[in-house]
Amino acid sequence: MRFDELERRYEEAQAALARAETPEALESWRTAWMGRKGAITALTRQIRDLPKEERPAFGQRINEVKAALEAAYEARAAEVKAEALAQELAEGAVDITLPGRPLNVGHLHLTTQTLREIYAIFERMGFEVYEAPEVELGYYNFDLLNIPPYHPARDMWDTFWVDDDLLLRTHTSPGQIRVMRERYPEPIRVILPGKVYRYEQITARSEHQFYQVEGLAVGRHITMSDLIGTLTEFTRMFYGEHRRTRVRGSYFPFTEPSIEIDTDCILCGGKGCPVCKYTGWLEIAGAGMVHPVVLQNGGYDPDEWSGFAFGLGVERPAMMKYGVKDIRLFYGNDLRFLRQF
Ligand code: FA5
């Protein structure tokens, strides 16, 4: 009878163990069957109630059952642990078929793109790129360009002085003198790109730091029609055939005669807006025939040589080409703007 109960309990314990699927269930099983108050332990206690002769056989069987259940428990515990690990791996695993996170790739700034377009156009017309310093002697920025210290034209370009002699250049024109002095007596056809600085109020059309591309051609028979032809060709290639340009008489101390080139304002379609100062036109370049004094300062005899020069903005032509309404957007570092180009 006791043997029957032991075998029945043994089977029940095995079945219950097979149903335990979590570490918690295993623990409960262990307490319920093998613990101090567990069912198998309770059977052990019954040994003393048995007739003496049955005790050894029953004791031996109970020990076998206990050992078998311990072993089964260990095996089941290992299984449950392996299943839990497999599940954890499946849940937290890396799916190598997922597409990777996109890398943020930058691109060239609108100003750099525009500069490169400008270089490409002038390269096709035979101009080479020449670089001149951004921190410049006042002597080159003004005096050698026919702007003596007392001359009121100095007021057109106020800037940031580094010391009594050095300044942040107000335009790329001082580079003209540097090329001429370096290249004499060769004919010259160069563009001089770079940053320029002005102490002036920032508005939708004016920055205190911006880019210019200077142009200089010096030769034996260079005339105003070469200048107008070159700039007209530039605007045609930069904007396309449809854009209107106009040439106006102007004044610069370092050119004589002087002109300015305007394009029709695409922001307002010519109706007038703050960027074009309500004229329908925006100046993109100042230009003219190199003043004889400037040719002389560069080492070229004005009786033998002539030349033209121009100073083209970079941001303003870009505004007119791409419809940028405010020049402050260029260097405001707002990615919503920069990503559009
Ligand atoms: C000059 O700087 C002359 N050096 C240009 C020149 C060169 C004339 C050679 C004759 C011969 P101006 O100050 O007008 O000129 O500037 C030339 C161009 O730079 C303007 O047409 C405009 O496109 C751009 N520019 C001028 N001021 C600003 C500004 N504050 N912000 C943005 N662009 C400007």
Q: What is the mean pLDDT of residues 333-340?
A: 94
Domain boundaries, the chain: 2-90, 110-338
What is the whole-number distance in angstroms between the Cα of residue 300 and the centre of ligand 1? 25
For domain 110-338, say whether CATH 3.30.930.10 is its number: yes
**Whole-number Cα distances in Å, 99 to 92, 94, 157:** 17, 12, 55
User: Which atom of ligand 1 approaches the CA of 212 most closely?
Assistant: 19
Taking only Cα atoms into account, the Rg of the chain, rounded to an integer number of angstroms, comes to 45
CA dihedral 322, 328, 331, 335 (to 10 degrees): -70
What is the whole-number distance in angstroms between the Cα of residue 285 and the centre of ligand 1? 6
Q: From the centroid of its chain, how far is CA 271? A: 35
pLDDT of residue 105: 87
Q: What is the mean pLDDT of residues 237-253?
A: 92
Cα atoms in the Cβ-side hemisphere of radius 13 Å centred on 70 = 8
CB of 297 sitting under 6 A from ligand 1: no
1 pLDDT band (50/70/90 cuts)?
A: low
pLDDT of residue 117: 98
CB of 76 sitting under 6 A from ligand 1: no
Mean pLDDT over the full length of the chain: 92
What is the whole-number distance in angstroms between the Cα of residue 167 and the centre of ligand 1? 17
335 pLDDT band (50/70/90 cuts)?
A: very high
CB 236 within 8 A of CB 216: no
111 pLDDT band (50/70/90 cuts)?
A: very high
pLDDT at 93 over 80: no
89 pLDDT band (50/70/90 cuts)?
A: confident
- Specify the higher pLDDT residue, 88 or 111: 111
CB of 215 sitting under 6 A from ligand 1: no
Q: What is the mean pLDDT of residues 117-133?
A: 97
What is the whole-number distance in angstroms between the Cα of residue 275 and the centre of ligand 1? 15
**Which residue CA neighbors atom 7 of ligand 1 most closely?**
311
Q: What is the DSSP string of 66-109?
A: HHHHHHHHHHHHHHHHHHHHHHHHHHH---TTSPPPPP------
Work out the angle at residue 185's Cα, subtended by the Cα atoms of residues 181 and 189, and round it to the nearest 5 degrees. 75
Tokens of 144: 């050698």
Cα atoms in the Cβ-side hemisphere of radius 13 Å centred on 256 = 10
Report the percentage of the chain scoring pLDDT > 90. Answer: 66
pLDDT at 226 over 90: yes
**Phi then psi for 88, rounded to 5 degrees?**
-60, -40
pLDDT of residue 154: 82
Burial 265-297 (b: 16+ CB within 10 A, else e): bbbbeeeebebbeeebbbbbbbbbbbbbebbbb
Q: What is the mean pLDDT of residues 215-244?
A: 94
Q: What is the mean pLDDT of residues 2-6?
A: 82
What is the whole-number distance in angstroms between the Cα of residue 318 and the centre of ligand 1? 14
Provide the pairing of β-strand 188-197 with 209-219: antiparallel
What is the SS3 assignment for 315? helix
The pLDDT tens digits of the residues spanning 268-327 come to 888 988 889 999 998 989 999 999 999 999 999 999 999 999 999 999 999 989 999 999
d(C-alpha 193, C-alpha 211), whole Å: 7
d(C-alpha 199, C-alpha 171), whole Å: 12
Report the percentage of the chain scoring pLDDT > 70. Answer: 100
Flag the least confident range among 40-54, 105-119, 204-218, 294-308: 40-54
Angle between helices 224-239 and 110-124 (to 10 degrees): 130
CA dihedral 107, 112, 114, 115 (to 10 degrees): -150
Residue type, 181: R
Cα atoms in the Cβ-side hemisphere of radius 13 Å centred on 111 = 19
User: Which residue in this structure is represented by tokens 């056989």?
Assistant: 57
CB of 210 sitting under 6 A from ligand 1: yes
